[in-house]
Amino acid sequence: MRLPDELAPRALAYFSQILGRDLEDVTDLASLPAHDLLRLADLLPDGVLPALVSLLKGAGPGVFEKLLGDHEEENRSLSDRFFARYRDLVLEAIEDQEFNPLEAWLPPEACQDLAFLSSRQTFFLRQEIVHINEWMARHFGLGPYLPGSQLEAWNDLWSFLTRP
Amino acid sequence: MNSQTETSTETATDSELCPLFKVVLLDDDEHTYDYVVEMLCATCNLSRESAFRCAVEVDLIGKTTVFYGTLEQCKNRAARILAYGADPRLPRSRGSMKAEVHER
């Protein structure tokens, strides 16, 4: 996600206030030493971290090195904290065993679009057979399939959806 | 003269014995952070933490190195990435991410 251009000046003004230093444009932000950039990130609320990352996009390879603390030991804890907070913010929580990815991301109505469906073949084949059985039975009345029969299930689904 | 020749011969031999290549993952707007992390853990055996840092790097600067090895190993990893398929979380995603094998 990229921050809309009109929001960039407001974000920079906010960052300037937090850091106590004037940041007139993205170049000023990207030019901060690693320690200052990471200190800024540390002072920001979690919800603002994506805006910071968005502003840094395209600012050059040096920016990522700065987020790593420029490999300086004194920056390590700040860097680790930044990545941990940003990870918790942008990644899904690890799902429990009850979570069925097919139910979440392969809506049966979308399967009528065969181009879409074919783009999901590798995703389907990676799923556990218990989830495939649950999904196939609920939406198409197919199955059950034995463990390791993902490809057979896929072929049956394809045949079912393309039957005349 | 002789010692220079021997040195260059040794260097060439080392390079032949241990060719070092890398797999570079390229950014696009059809894949989520979750996909990149899951895919890199599965195809390149990265830890979740390392994979997340790669995801941030590819998002920020457009590319990230995800694997080092021999040419054969790198071709294999790149092929796995290219075969991983679309990101199921994004309806507009219709294919895998792109990866290239580069000499280090």
DSSP A139-160: HH------TT-HHHHHHHHHHH
At B1, the pLDDT band (50, 70, 90 cuts) reads very low
What pLDDT score does B2 carry? 45
What pLDDT score does A137 carry? 97
- Which runs of E-coded beta strand occur in chain B? 21-26, 63-69, 98-103
A63 touches chain B (CB under 8 A): yes
* CA separation, residue A62 to residues A8, A27, A69, B24 (Å): 20, 12, 11, 17
Q: In chain B, which among 61-100 make CB contacts under 8 A with chain A? A: 61-62, 83-86, 88-89, 91, 93-95
**Using CA atoms, how far apart are residues A19 and A39, in angstroms rounded to an integer?**
8
Nearest chain B residue to A120 by CA distance is B86
Say yes or no for a CB contact (<8 Å) between A105 and B88: yes
Whole-prediction pTM value? 0.87
What pLDDT score does B3 carry? 44
What pLDDT score does B4 carry? 46
pLDDT in tens, B24-54: 999 999 999 999 999 999 999 999 999 999 9
pLDDT in tens, A131-158: 999 999 999 999 999 999 999 999 999 9
Nearest chain B residue to A127 by CA distance is B88
pLDDT, average across residues A35-43: 97
Domain B19-103: which CATH number of 3.40.50.150, 3.40.50.300, 3.30.1390.10, 2.60.260.20: 3.30.1390.10
**Using CA atoms, how far apart are residues B89 and A91, in angstroms rounded to an integer?**
12
Q: In chain B, which among 32-51 make CB contacts under 8 A with chain A? A: 33-34, 37, 49
What pLDDT score does B32 carry? 96
